[in-house]
Structure 1
Amino acid sequence: MKVIAITGGIASGKSAVTDQIRQAGYRVVDADLLARQVVEPGTHTLEEIKEAFGQEIVQNGVLDRKALGEKVFANPALLKELTKITSPEIQSAIRDQLAFFKMKEEPIVFCAIPLFFEQHYEKTGWFDQVLVVSASEREQLERLMARDHLDEWAAQSRIKSQMPVQEKIAKADVVIENNGTAEELAQKVQDYLKHLEVA
């Protein structure tokens, strides 16, 4: 089974690329989805977060992701603390899903992991290829402000909390650049998948 990681900067278009790959019929393990599942009501991860960050970030038993985001993205030490709690749980869930697809003898499986390099997934030895979706910082900033209704300062702090996109590009096996239209991006993904089938 060939395992391909999809990563890139925040608001670079990773989700759009992942959606297209899923629509093309490929299996996708989605770290963002798993990140939500590991903090669902009743999980020990949620309890740990509540202890570390205070009762007020849980509303009616549910994690208030916006309140937590406002706390951690402005404070690198708190972001590190949160990562220490959630990262092992997410990694374990990814490993389980990959084992399941291997058992099913899927030929190619994609893993969408936004913080692939930040959390050192490249050292796990699970991946045959790393695909980075890139966008200019200006594009990232504008998309992030529009998507998450953030002011420029808040958007900048989220971008700065991640590894610079140029560093990710340097570590990538494949780069899909997304500074243009949705149609242009769709064409690039199609071309990539066609090449993948041939290879």
Structure 2
Amino acid sequence: MFLVGLTGGIASGKSSVLQVLQQLGCAVIDVDVIARHVVQPGYPAHRRIVEAFGTEVLLENGDIDRKALGDLIFNQPDRRHLLNAITHPEICREMTKETFKYFLRGYRYVILDVPLLFETKKLLKYMKHTVVVYCDRDTQLARLMQRNNLKQEDAEARIKAQLPLEDKARMARHVLDNSGEWSVTKRQLDPQGGKFLRGWDPERMRPVLSHPRSTYTLNPDRALPRADPCLEGEKQPSVSSYTFPPSPGPSLQEQAQNRVHEGP
């Protein structure tokens, strides 16, 4: 089995690409879904966030207030690093577990959706392929303003807070250009004629074994601002230490498929 790292930028259309890959039968691990899971009330990361940032980052029902926490760390690198230090070890552990589950189910490769794949570089050495969902800056700005109902200066500030898509495209092995019509992007994902999956046997997308589903249940409204994938030097758990009991709940892949479609 090998790993494929998928990344992009805000409003570049990565979520739409992920949805197509899931429909094609690819095994996809969505880091956003994992990040939402590990900060639910009752989990260690939730408790540590409250200890570090106070109860003002909580909603009335005890969930993390994403907007309040995001505003708190946006222009404060020290606090952002503290949040990363709390959440990333938990996220990495869950990513390891989910990857191993797909391995046991017989998948030949797994696509990891890692928003900051090139910023941190911690996971790059594990990826056989890296893919960036790209769009030009004017298109990115227009989509973000329309999607989030933002003023131009606010949208530009959010884009500038990320590594430019041009830089990510230069570092990636594959680039999916989503600057134009969505139908053009979908043709690039066609296993028969698209350049992205060309030469990748469609049968390699599907498992050859069956295995119990994930035990996660998740409220999709619970999430954190995006954070780095892993902390360097953080000891990762051994996959041999995990057990995977069957559960009637949806798997992480199914939860990701049920997320609201953001559009290209």
Q: Which runs of 5+ in 2 are unaligned?
A: 205-264
SS at match of 2:4: strand
**TM value normalised by structure 2:** 0.70
1:46-195 aligned within 5 A? 46-59=46-59, 60-123=61-124, 125-190=125-190, 191=194, 192-195=196-199
Deviation at 1:188, TM superposition (A): 1.2
- Pick the structure with more helix per residue: 1
In the aligned structure 2, how far is the partner of 1:155 from the partner of 1:50?
29
- Kept in 2, the 8 Å contact 1:73–1:158? The answer is no
In the aligned structure 2, how far is the partner of 1:148 from the partner of 1:81?
27
- Name the aligned partner's letter for residue 109 of structure 2: I
- Report the aligned-residue RMSD: 1.9
Partner residue, 2:201:
197
Mark the CA change 1:42 to 1:149 in structure 2 (over 3 Å): closer, same or farther.
farther
SS at match of 1:117: helix
- Name the aligned partner's letter for residue 193 of structure 1: L
In the aligned structure 2, how far is the partner of 1:147 from the partner of 1:194?
32
Deviation at 1:195, TM superposition (A): 3.3
In the aligned structure 1, how far is the partner of 2:164 from the partner of 2:130?
16
**TM value normalised by structure 1:** 0.91
Partner residue, 1:41:
41
Deviation at 1:45, TM superposition (A): 0.6
In the aligned structure 2, how far is the partner of 1:153 from the partner of 1:108?
40
Q: Which runs of 5+ in 1 are unaligned?
A: none
Is 1:31 paired with 2:31? yes
Mark the CA change 1:150 to 1:82 in structure 2 (over 3 Å): closer, same or farther.
farther
In the aligned structure 1, how far is the partner of 2:154 from the partner of 2:54?
22
Deviation at 1:25, TM superposition (A): 0.8
Deviation at 1:50, TM superposition (A): 1.7
- Name the aligned partner's letter for residue 108 of structure 1: Y
Provide Cα deviations, 1:21-72, integer angstroms capped at 9, x if missing partner. Answer: 0000111000011011111111111121122222111112101112222222
The count of corresponding residues between Structure 1 and Structure 2 is: 198
Q: Percent identical across equivalent pairs? A: 35
In the aligned structure 2, how far is the partner of 1:90 from the partner of 1:150?
30
- Kept in 2, the 8 Å contact 1:145–1:155? The answer is yes
